[in-house]
């Protein structure tokens, strides 16, 4: 069933640099698609707020957060005056609150920053993987890379044999049409003849759909001699090699070959130290209808 959204992007913030960068991406997307943005700060009631039993002190903290949200919104609207930005303070576990609000209020998508799995993590970075795991809407995970003036010009679209893997094709086309992007369709070029026959059939169908939707695209098989690692690592290496602006993947349902033993493909992509933004699609996140999409 197609999902009706409220044309609003949910952007969690802890006011860190990576969260501010995520907001920068959201502003550009909102400008192009005509979205609104809701900037949300989530306070863990068992953390900082829970230390203060005094209602008056808690009120002062809330006022300070509101003031910071107002400042971020004011600065953002200097560059994006036509984008409506709402603010919100919520309480609870960040990943639970963000996902509940996004689903119950039919947000278009979630856009949030992450520092990856290593190093000192701030609040947003440590919650991004949990948001991805449970999200029913697309989540775009932003790292250090700011959005370019022309948006997402180069999109990397990894394809494997799973049915779920191909569902992200509609999203790639959806983004590419707005930003005049080139979609880089990549796959593992194994020597096994049975696999090659199957993956070539999938790639041919993918090309047909891209052509039907007038999308610009490039197809590249990743050979073992140049790309000997897991598909996740090879995807990121290819993305870095071409200077990609966005990688589009599925979430829990997308599992490849050897990387399954090391953790999900999605987790490896998101937690890697690379800088390219990653759009994570849950298999239930439909809402876009395109000609010729896999049935």
- Which of 169-173, 257-261, 270-274, 285-289 has maximum average pLDDT? 169-173
CATH domain 8-142 topology: Rossmann fold (3.40.50)
Whether the per-residue pLDDT at 293 is higher than 60: the answer is no
Q: 226 near 188, Cβ under 8 Å?
A: no
Q: What is the pLDDT of residues 166-205, one digit of tens each?
A: 678 989 999 999 999 999 999 998 888 898 999 999 999 9
Return d(Cα 183, Cα 176) in angstroms, integer: 7
Q: Which residue has the higher pLDDT, 264 or 94?
A: 94
Tens digit of pLDDT for each residue in 138-163? 999 998 889 988 999 999 999 988 77
Q: What is the pLDDT of residues 213-254, one digit of tens each?
A: 999 999 999 998 899 988 989 999 999 999 999 999 987 544
Which pLDDT score is estimated for 129?
A: 74
Is 8-142's fold the same as 154-281's?
yes
According to DSSP, the β-strands at 278-281 and 246-250 are parallel
Class of domain 154-281 as given by CATH: alpha beta
Do residues 265 and 254 lie in contact, with contact meaning Cβ atoms separated by under 8 Å? yes
Q: What are phi and psi of 119, to 5 degrees?
A: 80, 180
pLDDT score, position 6: 77
- Cα-based distances in Å from 178 to 31, 150, 153: 11, 10, 10
148 neighbors 2 (Cβ within 8 angstroms): no
Query: What's the pLDDT band for 121 if we cut at 50, 70, 90?
Result: very low
The residue whose two tokens read 């000997």 is 228
Higher pLDDT, 97 or 114: 97
* C-beta separation of 278 from 247 below 8 A: yes
**Domain extent listing, the chain:** 8-142, 154-281
Q: Give the pLDDT of residue 269.
A: 82
């Amino acid at each position: 069933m197609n999902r009706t959204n409220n044309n609003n992007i949910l952007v969690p913030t802890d006011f860190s640099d990576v969260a501010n960068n995520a907001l920068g991406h959201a502003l550009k997307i909102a400008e192009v698609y005509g979205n609104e943005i809701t900037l949300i700060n989530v306070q863990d009631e068992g953390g900082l707020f829970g230390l203060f039993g005094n209602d008056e002190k808690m009120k002062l903290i809330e006022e300070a957060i509101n003031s910071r949200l107002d400042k971020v919104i004011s600065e953002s609207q200097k560059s994006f005056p036509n984008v409506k930005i709402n603010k919100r303070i919520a309480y609870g576990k960040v990943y639970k609150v963000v996902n509940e609000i996004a689903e119950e209020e039919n947000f278009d998508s979630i856009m949030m920053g992450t520092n990856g799995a290593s190093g000192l993590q701030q609040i947003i970075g440590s919650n991004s993987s949990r948001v991805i795991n449970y999200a029913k809407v697309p989540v775009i995970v932003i790292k250090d890379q700011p959005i370019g003036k022309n948006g997402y010009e180069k999109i990397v679209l990894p394809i494997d044999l799973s049915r779920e893997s191909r569902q992200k094709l509609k999203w790639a086309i959806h983004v590419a049409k707005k930003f005049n992007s080139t979609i880089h369709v990549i796959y593992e070029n194994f020597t096994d003849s049975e696999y090659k026959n199957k993956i070539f059939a999938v790639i041919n169908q993918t090309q047909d759909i891209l052509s039907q939707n007038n999308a610009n695209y490039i197809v590249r098989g990743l050979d073992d001699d140049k790309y000997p690692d897991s598909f996740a690592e090879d995807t990121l290496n290819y993305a870095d090699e071409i200077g990609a602006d966005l990688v589009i993947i599925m979430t829990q349902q997308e599992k490849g070959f050897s990387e399954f033993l090391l953790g999900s493909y999605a987790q490896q992509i998101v937690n890697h130290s690379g800088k390219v933004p990653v759009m994570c699609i849950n298999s239930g996140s439909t809402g876009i209808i395109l000609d010729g999409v896999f049935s």
